[in-house]
Amino acid sequence: MKINVVENAKSIEADILVVNLFEGERTTSDIANQYAIDEDNFKGKFGETYLLPTYGKEPYRKVLVLGLGKKEDFCPNKLREAIAKSVKKAMQMEAKKVAFALDGINFDYSEQFTMGALIADYKFDKYKSEKKDNKISEIYIQANENNVRKAEKIAAAMTFTRNLANEPAQFATPSELANIALDLGLDTKIYDKDECEKMGMGAFLAVGRGSAEEPKFIHMKYTCDNPKKRIAIIGKGICFDSGGLDIKPASSMLTMKDDMSGAAAILGIMSIIKEFSPQIEVHGIIAACENMPGGKAYKPGDILTAKNGKTIEIDNTDAEGRLTLADALCYACELGVDEVIDMATLTGACMVALGTQAAGIMGNDDTLVKNLIDTASRNGERFWQLPLWEEYFDSLKSDVADMKNSGARWGGASAAGVFLQKFVKDVKWAHIDIAGTAYLEKPQKEFISGATGACVRTLLGYILEQ
């Protein structure tokens, strides 16, 4: 979709001109008035749309009036959602050119305007033999050009991530993730199984042992002259989570190709980072493998030794993400960075707590956590803090090793958090559990079902603010 920034969208020869109406207000759009909105049928409620014909009298064929809800509730996040609705509507109508002439919308909203259009203009149809040609080719908006171009890059990173997380596990293997990382043109090192063994990554390697796919540990680095700060971002990269020997029930396994959504987010972020040339150093880290129940699979009762020497008794082979992250966290802490942020589809418990509406966040530094929560809300995502009290470790105590990888059922998201903390040393750290937000089984807000590119907008926003 090409986005054209124009002075006057009403003069464009388009299939549809989108105008807006706030709930309970009369429209200031002469166009909408001229072709008469039926106020009994259309009140301007949030996300409502109303279509008016123009009888060939205007450059555009139809006017789509977009309800924006109550003016006092309006904000950039609402605008993004509403724009996404209108774009979806235009796609249904098979419109190719859509112009937007919105009244009373601040130019500061241009970034979320663009994000709404580009997030809605997404499909994953590469495996359909008959593709529907309902993509919009051009839109015309009156907006701040710089903000539009910035949002285009962020949206491209999200699309990259969504495509990768939607890709079936048969193709999106650990080796494939490694190849994708190598193609990004950054300073990248891929460690194979033997090299990981030499580094002492006994927890990560155990998880990958039951699979025919080779594990890959991926480290990408973006840097600049005199970086103001150095951060490491880590993504859980379980290319398929069958549960291992503690195998999942069929229905829980259905979406488990998405268990590398954290990794896909890291690759999406790293795919665009050079184009922004931020003044900080960013390390993108992924411990990629599959969790499968093959003959060499790790077993309940096994005792693993992580990179920092800590021993872990396996209580449940389905609590695998934290094992791979344990070694990745140790590795990241040894880089001597200022901050480490991990994102992971880590626990069903987080999804039970927050649903698909928010990611859970916890960490050892309140300022970092609060900063990320604020950055998320400004960039259209929701993070919600969960506690990281040491008491959650009680159920992870082991009689034979330093800890177990799982314990009580209750408070599972926080228990996973305190487990991860045992592998974090001398660094500010935040952990984001995206089990609920990374992949949707039903459409939600601006998203169709499938991968959402969770964390990409927020982390890029965070990196650009440093």
Q: Which residues pair with 342 in a beta bridge?
A: 234, 431
Q: Which residues pair with 241 in a beta bridge?
A: 291
Position of tokens 């970086």? 227
Return the residue nearest ligand BES (CB atom).
Answer: 348
Binder among 58, 121, 259, 339 for Zn ion (CB under 5 A): 259
- Please tell me the distance from the alpha carbon of residue 45 to that of residue 42, in angstroms, as a whole number: 8
Smallest separation, CB 240 to Zn ion (Å): 9
Site string for ligand BES, 272-311 (x = CB under 6 A): ----------------------------------------
Smallest separation, CB 408 to ligand BES (Å): 9
Which tokens belong to 310? 């800590």
Binder among 243, 244, 321, 450 for Zn ion (CB under 5 A): 321
Apex CA 177: angle with CA 332 and CA 165, to 5°? Answer: 100
Smallest separation, CB 320 to Mn ion (Å): 5
In the complex with Zn ion, the residue whose CB is nearer, 29 or 406, is 406
Site string for Mn ion, 300-329 (x = CB under 5 A): ------------------x-----------
Residues 309-368 that bind ligand BES (CB under 6 A): 316, 318-321, 345-349, 351
- Please tell me the distance from the alpha carbon of residue 194 to that of residue 312, in angstroms, as a whole number: 21
Residue 152 near which of ligand BES, Zn ion, Mn ion, none (CB within 5-8 Å, type-dependent):
none
Apex CA 440: angle with CA 86 and CA 168, to 5°? Answer: 115
Smallest separation, CB 151 to ligand BES (Å): 28
Three-state DSSP class for 459? helix
Size of the site for Zn ion (CB under 5 A): 4
In the complex with Zn ion, the residue whose CB is nearer, 163 or 347, is 347
- Whole-angstrom distance between the N-terminal and C-terminal Cα of the chain? 30
Site string for Mn ion, 147-186 (x = CB under 5 A): ----------------------------------------
Residue 412 near which of Mn ion, Zn ion, ligand BES, none (CB within 5-8 Å, type-dependent):
ligand BES
Smallest separation, CB 446 to ligand BES (Å): 21
Smallest separation, CB 318 to Mn ion (Å): 4
The DSSP annotation for 273-315 comes to HHHH--SSEEEEEEEEEEE---TT---TT-EEE-TTS-EEE-S
Crossing angle of helices 261-276 and 174-182, in 10° steps, is: 0
Closest CA to 359 of 267, 458, 289: 458
Residues 405-444 that bind ligand BES (CB under 6 A): 406, 412, 435
For Zn ion, which stretch binds (CB under 5 A), given 80-88, 156-164, 212-220, 237-245? 237-245
Question: Are 19 and 65 within 8 A, CB to CB?
Answer: yes
By CB under 5 A, residue 241 contacts Zn ion: yes
By CB under 6 A, residue 69 contacts ligand BES: no
In the complex with ligand BES, the residue whose CB is nearer, 174 or 412, is 412
Closest CA to 432 of 321, 364, 353, 341: 341
The residues annotated with a catalytic role in the active site are 248, 322
Position of tokens 């089984």? 441
The DSSP annotation for 215-266 comes to PEEEEEEE--SS-S-EEEEEEEEEEEE--TTSPPPHHHHTTGGGGGHHHHHH
Question: Are 222 and 281 within 8 A, CB to CB?
Answer: yes
Q: Give the CB-side neighbour count of residue 94, counting CA atoms within 13 A.
A: 2
By CB under 5 A, residue 241 contacts Mn ion: yes
In the complex with Zn ion, the residue whose CB is nearer, 139 or 239, is 239
In the complex with Zn ion, the residue whose CB is nearer, 81 or 241, is 241
Q: Which residues pair with 16 in a beta bridge?
A: 62, 98
Smallest separation, CB 406 to ligand BES (Å): 4
Residue 348 near which of Zn ion, Mn ion, ligand BES, none (CB within 5-8 Å, type-dependent):
ligand BES
For Zn ion, the binding residues (CB under 5 A) are 238, 241, 259, 321
For ligand BES, the binding residues (CB under 6 A) are 241, 259, 316, 318-321, 345-349, 351, 406, 412, 435
